[in-house]
Amino acid sequence: MQILELFWLLPVVNIIACLLAFFFGKTVSRGKAQVWTLPAIAFSWVMSILGAVAVIGDSHLAHEGITKTYKWFEFGPDMFFQMGIHIDGFAVVMCLVVTTISMMVQIYSIGYMRGEPRYVEFYAVLAVFTAGMLILVTADNLFLGIFGWEIMGLTSYLLIGHYYEKRENSNAAIKAFITTKTGDVGLIIGAVVVYWATETFNFGAVNAKALEGEFHAPLLLVACIALFIGVIGKSAQFPLHTWLPDAMAGPTPVSALIHAATMVVAGVYLVARMWPTFVTAMNVHIANVNLIALIGAITAIIAALLALVQFDLKKVLAYSTVSQLGYMIFALGIGAWGAGVFHLFTHAFFKALLFLGAGSVIHSVHSNDMRDMGGLRRIMPRTYWTWIVGTLALCGVFPMAGFFSKDEILASAYHNGYKWVWAIGLAVAFLTAFYMFRATHLTFHKNYRGHGHPHESEGLITGPLIFLAIPSAIIGFIGAPGSFNLFEKWATPAAVEETIAKYPVLHPHPVDTTTFVLAGISVALALLGVLVATVVFYWEKTPGDIVERVAPIRYLHRFLANKYFLDHLYGGIVYGIRKPIADACYWFNQNVIDQVLNLTAAGTLELGKGTYLFDQNVLDGFYNGSAVGTDRIGGFFRKIQTGNIQQYAAVFFAAMALLALALVFAVR
């Protein structure tokens, strides 16, 4: 029995854990919901480790993977939907990331969420979130992947709105769900097009057809653009990135797990999983500009700029996440599959570390605002040193994990002919170092500016920080360039290798002097960023009011502080128009459509009244020779008011019978 064949258990045990926590969390476990969910995630983590051992020992298995499917539902023999898993090295890597971060976050939350409202529900939703992400990364087809994708959307909504008593939090939850759902229009349309063009949802089969040119070219492009719109929504790419900073309204462990390490990389994962299809559709191997690279690069730079002006510690990290997601996306867009996925892998560890570290700080000082912090280095040493590891990793300083992945992306951009992307990437590297050290100085150095007496967090909180600091520091070496690159050896699926082999531009670049020069440039720029941040925020060598005094900087600052006015744009246009249009529709419904029908009804009513009056007054009067008293007319109107239906029915059916006869004779 191959261990990988049991990977369907991973989502299943987490779903079961969710149900147990939900139904027995308050009673059997007296509120300690983690006793249900932690064993499940620990089991999944051990399975992932065993899976990693299996694929490391067998490179054929790592590339080809195993597939297990069962027929889900069908519309005839040649149109069926399958539920199945496909586990290769890439899937194992993703499972490892998801289960490691989930487990750390669940341990961390025991301390962080203690005494918070809805603790049990929090754990239940965390467990089902993990299940959703595991469904996506183990799924062998797009249709099942959509299930995981959307389950994550639901849990993200629920967790962002965890403190739903405040209207702004539920607004943030709605914004996150609706923005990603807007992207999902593309995802759904893309899935439909993929199905009809290839008659399957299976990732492997779709990739194979795209590579062999059996995927009708115009449909292929439409499908990929549509799917990429889904990616833009889920992975918070420009211009749908605005939901992610707002999503920080959720508890900090949620930000670490969902909005940094896992769910937001679902879009990156999808592009990576369907990379042969995207490469073929977007001509990544020929062009030196394409939609994926463009959107990724724009996102990387604009988010990095926004991170410069934030005072909310979590928002700095949120924009940093958006920026790094842009990095991963453009890495895939310039043809650097291995580098992009490796960055996803390393980023998950150090960004989760940074978020959890920020949570530790926020837990201690009871504020998100960096202006209320400062001097925490001495008070919270464990949080501080792990934060420094995470920061250096994010800045890409040798030998931290981020150095290897980021440098590999930039080098690939340079070699694959995307020099403009390389330039933007360098600028982002500089900005990243700048805003991260700005945040570090404001939070940890100088003197404490806040209130109360902060203290180091308990072991349940610092433990996960220390655990995550280890991979953040050293795991980069498994992705060292050239023949040392074990990560690509284990994680690259066969279809991706075929794609690379097919297009010479995508071949791995040699490790030579250029490699070291490029690495030197990016590290130098990062260090420059550190230096500038230190000059401005630690030594405070610049005049403090430079922003106010110099007009261009003032305007730039305002532009950034207002997030390029995108939220105003969306708020003003999208949300602003919703109300008038919805109201107009409803007005139209009530006053036009309904009135037309009401008037018709009223007309019929009048006709009926006339007929009846004729009947009662003329005919009946003629027969009886008696005048009609006003009381009888009054009685008639009362009957109308209370609905004397039989008359209409009778008149109506008589008319209809005539019509039927007319129709029959007319067309005979």
Core vs surface per residue 498-534: b (16+ CB within 10 A) or e: bbbeebeebebbeeeeebeebbebbbebbeebbebbb
- Least distance to other proteins from the beta carbon of 157, Å? 8
Calpha distance 318→256 (Å, rounded)? 10
Q: By CB under 8 A, tell whether 336 contacts other proteins.
A: no
Residues 254-283 that bind other proteins (CB under 8 A): none
Calpha distance 374→386 (Å, rounded)? 16
Calpha distance 375→650 (Å, rounded)? 88
Q: By CB under 8 A, tell whether 171 contacts other proteins.
A: yes
- Least distance to other proteins from the beta carbon of 513, Å? 51
Q: By CB under 8 A, tell whether 43 contacts other proteins.
A: no
Residues 55-74 that bind other proteins (CB under 8 A): 72-74
Q: By CB under 8 A, tell whether 668 contacts other proteins.
A: yes
CB 436 within 8 A of CB 394: yes
Candidates 455, 578, 632, 638; binder of other proteins (CB under 8 A) is: 578
Q: Provide the mask over 2-31, with x wherever binding to other proteins is found by CB under 8 A and - wherever it is not.
A: ------------------------------
Stretch that binds other proteins, among 182-190, 322-330, 361-369, 522-530 (CB under 8 A): 182-190
Q: Inter-axis angle of helices 275-282 and 494-502, to 10 degrees?
A: 30
CB 356 within 8 A of CB 435: no
Closest CA to 413 of 432, 426, 397: 426
Structure tokens at 150: 């959307």
- Least distance to other proteins from the beta carbon of 270, Å? 15
Q: By CB under 8 A, tell whether 516 contacts other proteins.
A: no
Stretch that binds other proteins, among 236-244, 341-349, 392-400, 580-588 (CB under 8 A): 580-588
Stretch that binds other proteins, among 333-341, 455-463, 477-485, 579-587 (CB under 8 A): 579-587
Closest CA to 383 of 364, 402, 370: 364
Q: Measured from the CB atom, is 46 or 79 closer to other proteins?
A: 79
DSSP bridge pairs for 80: 74
Closest CA to 211 of 504, 501, 417: 501
Calpha distance 360→348 (Å, rounded)? 18
Calpha distance 156→100 (Å, rounded)? 19
Candidates 597, 599, 602, 607; binder of other proteins (CB under 8 A) is: 597
Calpha distance 432→323 (Å, rounded)? 9
Q: By CB under 8 A, tell whether 167 contacts other proteins.
A: yes
Candidates 174, 427, 561, 569; binder of other proteins (CB under 8 A) is: 174
Q: Which helix (H) or strand (E) holds 82?
A: strand 80-87
Q: Provide the mask over 195-234, with x wherever binding to other proteins is found by CB under 8 A and - wherever it is not.
A: xx--------------------------------------
- Least distance to other proteins from the beta carbon of 564, Å? 23
**Judged by CB under 8 A, how many residues of this single chain contact other proteins?**
63
Q: Measured from the CB atom, is 88 or 150 closer to other proteins?
A: 150
Stretch that binds other proteins, among 172-180, 245-253, 378-386, 428-436 (CB under 8 A): 172-180
Closest CA to 440 of 547, 343, 301, 316: 316
Q: Which helix (H) or strand (E) holds 68?
A: strand 66-74
Q: By CB under 8 A, tell whether 150 contacts other proteins.
A: yes
Structure tokens at 349: 């560890």
Q: By CB under 8 A, tell whether 542 contacts other proteins.
A: no
Q: By CB under 8 A, tell whether 667 contacts other proteins.
A: yes
Calpha distance 164→235 (Å, rounded)? 24
CB 416 within 8 A of CB 505: yes
Stretch that binds other proteins, among 38-46, 459-467, 625-633, 660-668 (CB under 8 A): 660-668
Q: By CB under 8 A, tell whether 581 contacts other proteins.
A: yes
Q: Which residue has the tokens 């995207």?
A: 278
Candidates 46, 79, 517, 619; binder of other proteins (CB under 8 A) is: 79
Calpha distance 300→324 (Å, rounded)? 6
Q: By CB under 8 A, tell whether 564 contacts other proteins.
A: no
Q: Which residue has the tokens 């050293």?
A: 474
Closest CA to 367 of 308, 457, 452, 469: 452
Stretch that binds other proteins, among 144-152, 273-281, 321-329, 615-623 (CB under 8 A): 144-152
DSSP bridge pairs for 68: 85
- Least distance to other proteins from the beta carbon of 116, Å? 14
Residues forming contacts to other proteins in the complex (CB under 8 A) are: 72-76, 79, 146-147, 149-151, 153-154, 157-158, 161, 164-165, 167, 170-171, 173-174, 177-178, 181-182, 184-185, 188-189, 192-193, 195-196, 578-579, 581-583, 585-586, 589, 593-594, 597, 601, 642-643, 645, 648-649, 652-653, 655-657, 659-660, 663-664, 667-668
